[in-house]
Amino acid sequence: MGTHNLTSISEFHLTGFSEDPDLQPVLLGLFLSLYLVTVLGNLLIILAVISDSHLHTPMCFFLSNLSIVDICFISTTVPKMIVDTITHSRFISYVGCLIQMSLFMIFICMDDMLLTVMAYDRFLAICHPLHYAVIMNPRLCVLLILLSVFLSLLDSQLHNLVALQITCFKDVEIANLFCHPFQIFNLSCSDMLIKTMVTYFCGAIFGFVPMLGILFSYYKIVSSILKIPSSGGKYKAFSTCSSHLSVVCLFYSTAIGTYFGSAVSYSPSKGIVASLMYTGVTPMLNPFIYSLRNREISRTQRGSLVGGFNPRTIDIHLESKFENIEKLRG
């Protein structure tokens, strides 16, 4: 493969699942269904939280923001896949590639930050239920969202800094469905020290540290739940965080493995499947997980589908749940 100067490169070529013409309608249906289901599911979550006053809680506030981020996240990659499948062209401009990479890093980092914030919210709800409403006040909730946005923008700009330092490329083919930053970095003609530094720095600060925060939160949560004497009390306590734990496991099992795997050694076929999992499948499953495991949200959604939201369908407020948990612990 010949080396190309940056000035001669106007576009990159993205690797798809298959070039077989017979598979293109199947892939089109897959990508389109994935996108529509994800957008609809997350919009229902947002609508449920906005429309029902009983869902105006910190956890639901963070959940609605997570749904917004998931819609933006999948909109960064999947629509391009749909267009490429229809047009049978997998080319993306150099500027378009940088924009897609930047948006991808913003929204995946936002996902990571919000899951960490939600773990902190569950920690307060289970371990300090009587102080929960005072600590997790609206001002703190907004500040946590703003902090997540700031850190996500910082992460994105650090990756952009590395990409803009690349002055020549070994090839123009990106072995992925979208402009993944590490595939772009690996196309550099030279081994840049700054590339390695940013890769592991961002992985540690924006990946490993939040994951440690989540693990610590759940360590404290499990310790508190084990102290509850009755099995019914333990079940009620665990049910308040089971949906979040499910989403965390789904997100980290695909994203973190692909992140560090891309930095060390990359298998195109495995990387493409893993990338589709956390850019498409994970945002699609999030609203289903929360709807099925959260009785308040599922009832509100059912109420909207049969003729409007009815706050009386909410049997138990989240705040009263936390007070009951504290009584059971005592």
* E strands in the chain: 4-5, 11-14, 91-93, 168-169, 173-174
CATH code where residue 192 lies: 1.20.1070.10
pLDDT at 39 over 70: yes
Look at the pTM and tell me if it is higher than 0.85. no
In the chain, count H helices and then E strands.
14, 5
Which pLDDT belongs to residue 138? 93
The answer to whether the CB of 177 falls within 8 A of the CB of 268 is no
pLDDT at 246 over 60: yes
How many angstroms separate the Cα of 210 from the Cα of each of 66, 114, 142, 238? 16, 10, 18, 21
Whose structure tokens read 């970095």? 185
For residue 57, being part of any structural domain is answered with yes
Which pLDDT belongs to residue 315? 37
Q: Express each pLDDT in 76-126 by its tens digit.
A: 999 999 998 888 888 888 889 999 999 999 999 999 999 999 999 999 988
- Structural domain range at position 35: 11-329
Which pLDDT belongs to residue 294? 61
Number of domains within the chain: 1
Q: Helix, strand, or coil here: 149? A: helix
For residue 2, being part of any structural domain is answered with no
Closest CA to 183 of 269, 262, 89, 267: 262
pLDDT tier at 308, thresholds 50, 70, 90: very low
The answer to whether the CB of 170 falls within 8 A of the CB of 1 is yes
pLDDT tier at 285, thresholds 50, 70, 90: confident
Which pLDDT belongs to residue 43? 93
Q: Helix, strand, or coil here: 169? A: strand
For residue 324, being part of any structural domain is answered with yes
pLDDT tier at 8, thresholds 50, 70, 90: low
* Contacts with 230 (C-beta within 8 Å, 6 or more apart), sequence order: 328
For residue 4, being part of any structural domain is answered with no
For residue 1, being part of any structural domain is answered with no
The chain-wide mean pLDDT, for the chain, equals 79
169 beta partners = 4, 188
For residue 5, being part of any structural domain is answered with no
Q: Which amino acid is at 194?
A: I
Which pLDDT belongs to residue 289? 80
Q: Which amino acid is at 251?
A: F
Which pLDDT belongs to residue 61? 92
Closest CA to 203 of 159, 245, 268: 159
